[in-house]
Amino acid sequence: MAELHLMTVAELSEVLHAGSVSSVELTRTFLERIERHARTLNAFISVDGEGALAQAAAADERLRAGDAGPLVGVPIAHKDIFCTRGQRTTCGSRMLANFTAPYDATVVERLRRAGVVTLGKTNMDEFAMGSSNETSFFGPVRNPWDATRVPGGSSGGSAAAVAARLAPAATGTDTGGSIRQPAALCGVTGIKPTYGRVSRYGMIAFASSLDQGGVLGISAEDAALLLMAMAGFDERDSTSVELPVPDYAATLEQPLKGLKIGLLREFFAGLDPAIEQLMRTALGVLHAQGAVVREVSLPHLPLSVPTYYVVAPAECSSNLARYDGVRYGYRCEDPRDLTDLYQRSRGEGFGPEVKRRIMIGTYVLSAGYYDAYYLKAQQVRALIASDFERAFHEVDVVIGPTTPTPAFALGAKTEDPVTMYLNDIYTIGANLAGLPAMSLPCGFLEELPVGLQIIGPHFAEARLLNIAHRYQCETDWHLRVPQGFG
């Protein structure tokens, strides 16, 4: 038997059901690893060992009673943006550093019902604003492949935890790339589903028309198993879609013969030739299985970063207005009056990136500028969405890199927000159009992992997972473990 911490969720499910290991034993293994690497990686904000072991014991009961659910007893981690009942939920912010959630997010509740054990809550950029995990109030996360580099963000804690095998899988959220970009930089597999596929109830809001929950794991098969348990209609989220959840695991093996892949011209213009070479090699693997590749163009895609950086701050400025120091969250000491209470609570509770977004958002929504910025951005957003729609008349999926570079050094981009924002140049389009997208490991550049991105039409999750799985049957990039964590 392979070492427990190196197993995929699918493999763990097998050994748990076979009775060769108990959930308590497994949970203990991961808790020990989390503790051992806590200081170097800073991937977790909180760990509830006692709670996890109690859940594991309950899962063992279910297993003994013959409960057939594939996830019963499998431990995972949650991004600290998901409310977990009775547990601290900070969203990476001082504003919520002492907030204990009174209820479970739908994602958490569904996974609990499926029998998963929650190991703890992973570190993240403050309110999910960032691409490097450096905006967290709880300090940066380090990339397990090179501790001097960032893990990506905002789900950097989840990505680092999976890469270092501190958890076999973890939840994440993706507003502009926050599942795919850290997945790419840490060499793990991540999926952002179609907008509306996974309930946002209990997932702390950043930009509500873009936010979508998903999962990071070792393999596409694991992502399929977890997504199936998380997804589905939820009457508590008005944007959740009333469509049945397909059995994503059942179609993983489907042959790729005849699959039409679009190579995104805009993604390859100016791309680092070494990354382009890795993309072409990956396409070769799919081509060998019968997929056909042709070039497609999305002319408005280069506008996605400026569009996103109007829409997302606008929505964040509205969503974050609720943190006023009155109802919950951080409150300043000894306020002089109500204005002082608001000003200092928000001034002290939020970090610089969050403040920058709130200011931009308030500006673009203000009476004199609404038409010039916000309305214009919404119009461009519609053009980007229709570009994708047109492309999907010609091809089944589009493929390109997830990020322009592998993991960059800590501190390299913190002084210049625009260079930081440009790291999401390839991921944001899918959010603006509400499309499902994945990132999977496809090789290394100077010993750092590189991600391949697949974007599909609305609700094509099964197809994306199928392509990723077939790719992973032929390659082993996703099974590589950083030195010191094997």
Is residue 314 a contact residue for ligand GLN (CB under 6 A)?
no
Is residue 424 a contact residue for ligand GLN (CB under 6 A)?
yes
Closest to ligand GLN by CB, 55 vs 171, is 171
State the nearest-atom distance from the C-beta of 128 to ligand GLN, in Å.
4
Pick one of 80, 126, 174, 387: the residue that binds ligand GLN (CB under 6 A): 174
Q: For residues 386-405, which are near ligand GLN according to CB under 6 A?
A: none
> Binding string, 138-157, against ligand GLN, x = CB under 6 A?
----------------x---
3-state secondary structure of 379: helix
> Binding string, 111-140, against ligand GLN, x = CB under 6 A?
-----------------xxxx---------
Nearest Cα to Cα of residue 243 among 381, 436, 104, 453: 436
State the nearest-atom distance from the C-beta of 84 to ligand GLN, in Å.
19
Using the contact rule CB under 6 A, the part of the chain among 47-55, 115-123, 176-184, 364-372 near ligand GLN is 176-184
Closest to ligand GLN by CB, 335 vs 417, is 417
**DSSP track, 245-306:** PP-GGGGTT---TT-EEEEEHHHHTT--HHHHHHHHHHHHHHHTTT-EEEEE--TTGGGHHH
Pick one of 70, 92, 157, 176: the residue that binds ligand GLN (CB under 6 A): 176
State the nearest-atom distance from the C-beta of 180 to ligand GLN, in Å.
9
Rounding to the nearest 10 degrees, give the CA dihedral for residues 221, 227, 229, 232. -140
Pick one of 22, 84, 118, 175: the residue that binds ligand GLN (CB under 6 A): 175
Nearest Cα to Cα of residue 106 among 87, 82, 90: 82
Is residue 26 a contact residue for ligand GLN (CB under 6 A)?
no
3-state secondary structure of 76: strand
Nearest Cα to Cα of residue 356 among 125, 151, 89: 125
> In what helix (H) or strand (E) does residue 210 lie, and over which residues does it extend?
none
Amino acid at 255: P
Contact 407, 151 (CB under 8 A): yes
State the nearest-atom distance from the C-beta of 55 to ligand GLN, in Å.
28
Closest to ligand GLN by CB, 177 vs 451, is 177
> Cα–Cα distance between 291 and 26 in angstroms, integer?
39
State the nearest-atom distance from the C-beta of 196 to ligand GLN, in Å.
16
Nearest Cα to Cα of residue 203 among 91, 72, 59: 91
Binding residue count for ligand GLN, defined by CB under 6 A: 13
Active site residues: 79, 154, 178
Is residue 304 a contact residue for ligand GLN (CB under 6 A)?
no
State the nearest-atom distance from the C-beta of 182 to ligand GLN, in Å.
9
> Cα–Cα distance between 159 and 11 in angstroms, integer?
20
Pick one of 92, 140, 177, 451: the residue that binds ligand GLN (CB under 6 A): 177
Using the contact rule CB under 6 A, the part of the chain among 52-60, 175-183, 386-394, 395-403 near ligand GLN is 175-183
- In sequence order, the 6+-apart residues with CB closer than 8 A to the CB of 437 are 180, 191, 192, 427, 430, 453, 454, 455, 456, 464
> In what helix (H) or strand (E) does residue 225 lie, and over which residues does it extend?
helix 220-230
> Cα–Cα distance between 129 and 320 in angstroms, integer?
12
| Residue 259 Cα distances to 69, 233, 306, angstroms | 32, 29, 33
State the nearest-atom distance from the C-beta of 161 to ligand GLN, in Å.
17
Pick one of 55, 84, 122, 178: the residue that binds ligand GLN (CB under 6 A): 178
Residues that bind ligand GLN (CB under 6 A): 128-131, 154, 174-178, 206, 312, 424
